[in-house]
């Protein structure tokens, strides 16, 4: 069989344990169906009667008959969480940040996925160019929605050029199939100056509105440009005036679409407002924050959550002295929040410090790409107080490691100050500044 799935663990008291299944065994099929990935597995084990084909380490095959409650889990975990290899992206997009990474970093940082299953599981965005008819049919069969799609442009020829893939324009037809099947989608446009902005952006938005309401939202984000672009397509950063033009286009379409559809649909990421020096929209303009992973509304949500949490507090005169390290993008917003905090907690000093991104280049302003090395270099001469706070997105998920492999403990040792990791909500920020959650 093509698909063989190593079992990594079996829960105590589970059906699998009762049937003699052990870690190291291999699942070959369920009810005669070969299992491609986790979605096949979950789909087929929902039945009340199952026939499992298991292969033991010595090669012996067991045919197991199981009767259980509908939807009852078997209690098995697999060596690969997806039960399949991640699918690699074969595009050479002019805006791809992975192609702008410096050499010598860990291998996982150079992997480019374009896997529709990760779009459903983790919110990743896919270009559709690596998606087969089989993949499309499985999305529809298993209702793997919402699917997040990197559109970039609805001009087929321009899309081929931007993705460096001659099939990129043709791949847009897959959106029609998903739309007709009623699959919910979200979209993304990475804006590159001189390519898909201006009239091209207008055209793309107009074409994308045809997929309402199944296409729930589309974000417009500026291309991120690191200093490692030798040999890549020459791209330049957007100016303040450019940002204002982008916002004018986005707001115009929002005003046209909202009365008819009840959603704003097209959204500009926070960077555009900061670059244009314009106020962030009110919370109602974000349609429930459908595009937070693209930086759409993150600062508005943080500010609202922090303000709400602060209003419920009774102030005190306790002395606190902390430093908050963040990216240049969030720096102004955090300064405003700490000013509000001092109104109730006058003896709490929370010194917000923006960290310039020397590692990737100073045009990169988000906190999630700050390295431990930059943090040490720029904070070592500063009086940091009792503690230093950093946002959780500076670290690898579920690990205390920065992008450049510095650990939290190494940074603490270098700076001689404890690091407190702040989770994503405004309540978490307030609690950590006040000395809770540490």
**Three-state secondary structure of 97-128:** CHHHCCCCCCHHHHCCECCHHHHHHHCCEECC
Q: Whole-angstrom Cα distance, residue 268 to residue 294?
A: 9
Task: Encode burial over 264-294: b for 16+ CB neighbours within 10 A, e otherwise.
Answer: bbbbbbbbbbbbbeeebbeeeebbeebbebb
Helix (H, G, I), strand (E, B) or coil at 352: strand
Structure tokens that stand for 208 in this block: 């994308």
Structure tokens that stand for 347 in this block: 């003896």
Q: Looking at residue 88, what is its pLDDT? A: 58
Q: Looking at residue 100, what is its pLDDT? A: 77
Q: Looking at residue 216, what is its pLDDT? A: 96
How do beta strands 185-191 and 348-355 pair?
Answer: unpaired
Distances (CA, A) of 412 to 200, 380, 385, 418: 48, 11, 13, 6
Q: Whole-angstrom Cα distance, residue 302 to residue 432?
A: 14
Distances (CA, A) of 310 to 87, 92, 279, 341, 431: 45, 46, 22, 7, 10
Q: Whole-angstrom Cα distance, residue 134 to residue 131?
A: 8
Q: Whole-angstrom Cα distance, residue 170 to residue 160?
A: 9
Per-block average pLDDT, block size 10, for the chain (438 residues)?
84 92 91 84 85 92 90 85 62 81 67 49 74 86 88 96 93 96 95 97 98 97 89 91 98 97 97 94 95 92 96 93 94 95 96 95 90 95 94 88 93 96 93 88
Placement of tokens 């090669």 in the chain: 59
Structure tokens that stand for 320 in this block: 């606190």
Contact (CB, 8 A) for 181 and 144: no
Q: Whole-angstrom Cα distance, residue 186 to residue 188?
A: 7
Q: Whole-angstrom Cα distance, residue 314 to residue 343?
A: 11
Q: Whole-angstrom Cα distance, residue 41 to residue 18?
A: 19
Q: Whole-angstrom Cα distance, residue 134 to residue 273?
A: 41
Q: Looking at residue 119, what is its pLDDT? A: 45
Helix (H, G, I), strand (E, B) or coil at 55: strand
Q: Which helix (H) or strand (E) is 339 found in, with range? A: helix 331-344
Q: What is the radius of gyration, based on Cα positions, of the chain?
A: 25
Residues with Cβ within 8 Å of residue 310, at least 6 apart in sequence: 340, 341, 344, 430
Contact (CB, 8 A) for 302 and 422: no
């Amino acid at each position: 069989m093509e698909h063989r799935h190593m079992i990594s663990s079996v829960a105590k008291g589970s059906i699998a344990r009762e049937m003699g299944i052990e870690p190291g065994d291999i699942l070959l099929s369920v009810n005669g169906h070969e299992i491609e990935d986790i979605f096949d597995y979950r789909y087929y084990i929902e039945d009340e009667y199952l026939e499992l084909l298991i292969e033991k380490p010595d090669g012996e095959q067991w045919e197991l008959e199981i009767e259980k409650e509908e939807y009852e889990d078997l209690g098995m975990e697999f060596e690969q969480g997806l039960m399949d290899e991640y699918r690699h992206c074969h595009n050479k997009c002019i805006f791809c940040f992975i192609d702008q990474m410096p050499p010598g970093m860990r291998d996982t940082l150079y992997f480019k996925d374009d896997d529709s299953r990760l779009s459903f599981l983790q919110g990743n965005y896919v270009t559709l160019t690596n998606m087969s008819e089989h993949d499309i049919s499985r999305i529809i069969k298993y209702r793997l929605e919402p699917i997040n799609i990197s559109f970039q442009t609805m001009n087929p020829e321009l899309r081929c050029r931007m993705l460096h893939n001659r099939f990129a324009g043709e791949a847009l037809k897959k959106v029609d199939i998903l739309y007709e099947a009623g699959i919910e989608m979200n979209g993304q446009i990475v804006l590159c100056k001189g390519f898909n902005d201006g009239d091209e952006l207008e055209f793309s938005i107009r074409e994308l509105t045809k997929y309402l309401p199944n296409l729930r939202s589309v974000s417009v984000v500026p291309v991120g440009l690191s200093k490692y672009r030798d040999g890549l397509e020459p791209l330049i950063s957007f100016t303040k005036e450019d940002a204002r033009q982008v916002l004018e286009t986005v707001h115009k379409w929002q005003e046209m679409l909202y009365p008819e559809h009840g959603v704003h649909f097209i959204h500009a990421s926070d960077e555009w407002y900061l670059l244009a020096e314009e106020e962030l929209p009110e919370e109602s303009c974000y349609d429930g924050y459908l595009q937070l992973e693209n930086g759409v509304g993150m600062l508005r949500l943080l500010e609202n959550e922090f303000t709400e949490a602060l209003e419920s507090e009774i102030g005190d005169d306790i002395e606190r002295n902390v430093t908050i390290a963040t990216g240049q993008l969030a720096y102004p917003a955090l300064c405003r929040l700490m000013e509000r905090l001092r109104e109730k907690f006058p003896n709490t000093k929370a010194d917000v410090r923006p960290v310039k991104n020397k590692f990737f280049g100073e045009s990169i302003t988000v906190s999630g790409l700050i390295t431990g090395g930059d943090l040490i270099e720029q904070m070592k001469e500063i009086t940091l107080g009792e503690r230093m706070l950093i946002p959780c997105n500076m670290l690898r998920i579920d690990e205390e490691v920065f992008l450049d492999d510095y650990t939290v403990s190494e940074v603490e040792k270098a700076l001689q100050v404890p690091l407190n990791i702040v989770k994503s909500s405004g309540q978490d920020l307030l609690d950590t500044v006040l000395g809770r959650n540490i």
